[in-house]
Structure 1
Amino acid sequence: MKTTSSHGLHHLHTASLCTPYLLLVPLGLLALLLALPSLGSSHARSQGLGVLCRGAAGTDGGGGYHSVAPTGADEKKASVVADADAETPPRPQPDLSLLVGVLTMPSRRERRDIVRMAYALQPPASAARVDVRFVFCNVTDPVDAALVAVEARRHGDIVVLDCAENMNDGKTHAYLSNVPRLFASSPYDYVMKTDDDTYLRVAALVEELRGKPRHDVYLGYGFPVGDDPMPFMHGMGYVVSWDVARWVSTNQDILRHNDTHGPEDLLLGKWLNIGGRGKNRYDLKPRMYDLNWFMDNFRPDTIAVHLLKDNRRWAATFKYFNVTAGINLSHLP
């Protein structure tokens, strides 16, 4: 009350020092009415924040790329509703749902912006719910922490796992282990792990998944070893069904035997092989592949192309897949 009173007196001072204090009551009510709209909008924006693993059980991950509802679609629909009492037909349920986790590091902000554009400029996958999240371990650097917090507030597509940042020391296990808990309220049919140097064509992957089982699936670029055509999948990107991710999250033998240290994509195949999981395996070669040195091996039926380690390679990829077609830089508004 002391703050409110001094604020009211400051405005009343120019009129008269003898004005009765009762005038503060209507002024306080007016201030409250003015503040309510801004408080409401702040609350609405907060719903789009990314998931923080610690204490985030039961959340659905906030905002980010969502193929069912393109950016601004809901607002456009709302603007054309003239009658508040008119019945709105229910949105059709998607035939398939996919979570894409892009494993990255806090310092790679420019790369994440490129990858976001790569997803945002693609057409939505038909009758599918596809959500993309960028996955970190704990952000310990104070500069990175501040910038990642802003990024999460702006885009709503950040997932922070409770682990030390690493490449071959348990991050993939942490991701697959946390997904069933973090997204328990709205589970997916499939969970994907991919990297921030992979260009994934979402609609092509969805069409490949559409005719597949929803149980015990392990799909990607198969890596042959001896007589086994695909004991594990290449790390550029692979998909497991929800039940497989849930099995990884509850399998204590993996942690008991300290079996998360080493080449993580190979280790995932090892866990599944020992546990008899992921029996429905699908090799997507040659539609998933590494981009070669000369960048001349693109395929029109690509599902994912890997090794986009610099902006030059991303630019070549966008050009090949007509992402920039029709954009004339000299005539931009």
Structure 2
Amino acid sequence: MSMKAPASNSYVLLAPLGVLVLVVVVFLLPSLNGSQRVGSDGLGGVMCARRTAGADGYTAAVAVAVVDPPPPREEPELSLLVGVLTMPKRYERRDIVRLAYALQPPAVRARVDVRFVFCRVSDPVDAQLVALEAMRHGDIVVLNCTENMNDGKTYAYLSSIPRLFASAPYDYVMKTDDDTYLRVARLVDELRHKPRDDVYLGYGYAMGGQPMPFMHGMGYVVSWDVATWVSTAEEILARNDTEGPEDLMVGKWLNLAGRGRNRYDLKPRMYDLSWDMDNFRPDTVAVHMLKDNRRWAATFIYFNVTAGIDPSKLHHSP
């Protein structure tokens, strides 16, 4: 995180001429023979000094910071929206998941935004607390639906995204849950050389002899064009296909319409954590079934999330 530059890069000293001598000796003497490097305060530039005479006879010594322009920002190779479907009352879980993403190393040359998604907030207490969250973090999306898991929430999410983010569309849209730990850079590496259209990627679930009729609900990715199609596909509503096991229904939509033909199965790098919590993988993209804090803690230990904490007299780590 870059630190803010000083509010002003110009320093002005005004003094009677008799006092100015000392100031010039201490601060401006190296600059008397032209522009010399005096210091940059980490701004990547030089600080030049010059003397100007005012109309009242006083002399002003002015130091002007000449700042080098920042290097051009690299354009991202891809962009990804991660929608974490959760519920209004799960404040503690959101805080854990928020930190889990914030403390990960950034994905190289990628724009990745994480948003927490739920339906209308009906409880007045939750409404106030969620409003505080939204104001503080800016990562809350509240959909126009009644809170649910398998009665249309995923449809509301995927069909709303193209409208909500029409001004800055993404290459890919992900749906995941608040009991999934996603290693963002690993997922971005998987997507980096994939097509940007007609993509359906996740943990492929075999059913009825078909190897990948749908992706497991722990987390799956569709390309922007697929999400746009969902937002306009009247046949989904006509068949009442918004209700039912949400991951199975998404696969059904795409299969009937011949969409998402570029399918990628990330199994076994996406998986459920076992009862004994002993099946972590070093090449993990996403691990699911983190239903309590004990499982989140085990995940952080395995992936060394807190291993780099700086020593401090203010806390004593075990």
> Do these two structures clear the TM 0.5 threshold for a shared fold by scoring above it?
yes
Q: Distance in 2 between matches of 1:288 and 1:77?
A: 46
**SS of the residue aligned with 2:291?**
coil
| Greater share of residues in strand | 2
Q: CA deviation at 1:76?
A: 6.6
Supply the AA of the counterpart residue of 2:4.
Answer: E
Identity of aligned residues (%): 75
- 251, 262, 287: which one aligns with 1:305: 287
Partner residue in 2 for 1:73: 2
Q: Which residue is equivalent to 2:248? A: 266
Cα distance in structure 2, aligned partners of 1:269 and 1:93: 33
Q: How many residues align?
A: 262
| Gaps in structure 1 of 5+ consecutive residues | 1-71
Deviation at 1:328, TM superposition (A): 7.1
Quote the offset at 1:131 in angstroms. 0.2
Partner of 1:5 in structure 2? none
- The equivalent of 2:88 in structure 1 is 106
Q: For 1:177, which of 131, 135, 159 is the aligned residue?
A: 159
**Cα distance change on mapping 1:74 and 1:284 into 2, 3 Å:** farther
Aligned mate of 1:317, from 294, 299, 311: 299
Task: Using the TM superposition, give the Cα deviation of residue 257 of structure 1 relative to its aligned residue in structure 2, in angstroms.
Answer: 1.8
**Which residue of structure 2 aligns with residue 148 of structure 1?**
130
CA distance in 2, matches of 1:267, 1:303: 23
The correspondence of residues 105-124 of structure 1 with structure 2, limited to 5 A, is 105-124=87-106
CA distance in 2, matches of 1:263, 1:77: 54
| RMSD (Å), alpha carbons | 1.9
By how many angstroms is 1:264 displaced? 0.9
Deviations 1:100-124 (A, max 9, x none): 0000000000000000010011000
Deviation at 1:324, TM superposition (A): 1.2
1:81 positional shift: 6.2
**Structure 1 Cα separation of the partners of residues 296 and 105 of structure 2:** 18
Q: What is the 5 A alignment of 1:60-99?
A: 72-73=1-2, 75=4, 80=43, 83=65, 86-99=68-81
SS in 2 for 1:236: strand
1:247 has 2:210 as partner? no
Shift of 1:91: 1.4
Unaligned runs of 5+ in 2: 8-41, 46-64
SS, match of residue 75 in structure 1:
coil
| Structure 1 residue aligned with 2:39 | none
Distance 1:320 1:231, change over 3 A: same
Q: 1:77 to 1:277 in 2, by over 3 A?
A: farther
Find the structure with the greater CA-based Rg.
2
Deviation at 1:331, TM superposition (A): 3.8
Evaluate the alpha carbon distance shift between residue 88 and residue 249 of structure 1 in structure 2; reply closer, same or farther with a 3 A threshold: same
